[in-house]
Amino acid sequence: MKCFEPKDLSTGQLHSYLLSAVAPRPIAFASTLNKDGVPNLSPFSYFNVFSANPPILIFSPSRRVRDNTVKHTLQNAEATKEVVINMVNYDMVHQMSLSSADYPDDVNEFKKAGFTMLDSHNVRPFRVGESPIQFECKVNEIIRLGKKGGAGNLIICEVLKMHFSKEILNKDKSINQEKLDLVARAGGNYYSRAKKGFFEIPKPLSTLGIGVDSLPEHVRNSMILTGNDLGMLGNVETLPSKKEIEMFIEEVIGKYPIIKNASHREKHKIAQNYLSYGDVQSALKLLLS
C-alpha cells in the first residue's frame, strides 16, 4: 500500500484525499440569515445525524483552503443561532451546486439558484420549497477545530421541527428511501445518487454564474424545463450575444427548418435535449432566440 502522513501533504492534497476516501457523504443544504436579514443558502458535505434524544445534527463549514477565509453560513450561525437544514434529492442537485458559488454576502442564493423560499415555523431562516425534507434547528454550540485554512467548525444543531413531503412517505408515514432519492457528495466533481450510483457535476464557475434569476421569465417559469435544467443554464458567466444567437439559429434552421416556427414549448423541449448532452450554450441560444 502507498502510505502518507498528513504532515507530509499540503492542505490541498490532504483535503482531496479525505473527500475522495470518505465518500459518499450526505449533504446539509443550510439556510441562514445574516445580521441584516439577507437569506443565505449553501451546501455542506461534512454532515450527519449524531443523536435522536435530543435530536442533533452536526455540519461543518470549513475555513477555505485557498485563503483561510470563513463562509457566510458560519458567520450567520454565530450571529443568529438558527439554521434550516434542507436535504438534497436528485431533482434539485444542479440548482444546489449553483448555490455553492461564492456569491457576496448581500446576494440571496435562493434567487440565484431558482429555489422557493418557504417561511419556517420556529426559526427565522427560510426553508427550501423544493427540498423533500427540511429541519428547523437552533444552534446549540459551535466548536472550532483550528485557525488555519481547511479547519472545520462544528455547528451542533438541535432539531426543533421536521417537515416531510407527502410524496416520500409510505402509508405508515415511514420514509420511502427510493422515492426520497437523496444525493451525496464524493471527491472531485463526483456525486452519488441513491438509486443509480455515481455521476458528475462540473463545479460552479469561479467567476460566478449569472444565476437562474438572470434568465428570461419564460425560461424561469417553463412548464418543460426542470430545476436541474435551470441550474445548468444559470451556471454560465454571460448570456450569448444577439449575434451569436442569430448565427446559431441560422445554422440550426438550415438543418432543421421546423425550428423556424417552433413554439416556446417546442423550443424548450429541444433545449432540454441539448442540456441532456451537457450542451448548455446551444440550449441557451435556442431559448433566447
Task: Tell me the CA distances in angstroms from 258 to 242, 267, 285, one per residue in order.
Answer: 21, 10, 16
In a domain, 54, yes or no: yes
**Domain assignment of residue 241, yes or no:** yes
Distance in angstroms (rounded) separating the CA atoms of residues 158 and 15: 28
pLDDT in tens, the chain (289 residues): 999 999 999 998 998 999 899 989 999 999 999 989 999 999 999 999 999 999 999 999 999 988 999 999 999 999 999 999 999 999 999 999 999 999 999 999 999 999 999 999 999 999 999 999 999 999 999 999 999 999 999 999 999 999 999 999 999 999 999 999 999 999 999 999 988 889 999 888 778 899 999 999 999 999 999 999 999 999 999 999 999 999 998 888 877 777 778 888 999 999 999 999 999 999 999 999 8
**And the C-alpha cell for 68?**
483561510
Does residue 221 sit in the same domain as residue 192?
A: no
Do 220 and 189 lie in one domain? The reply is no
- Both 45 and 112 in one domain: the answer is yes
**Is the same domain home to 118 and 246?**
no
Domain assignment present for 1: no
Q: For the chain, how many structural domains are there in total?
A: 2
Q: Are residues 155 and 32 both part of a single domain?
A: yes
Q: Which range marks the domain in which residue 112 is found?
A: 6-200
Residue 206 lies in a domain: no
Those residues with Cβ within 8 angstroms of residue 2's Cβ, 6 or more apart along the chain or in another chain: none
Examine the domain organization and report whether 190 and 228 are in the same domain: no
169 and 80 fall within a common domain:
yes
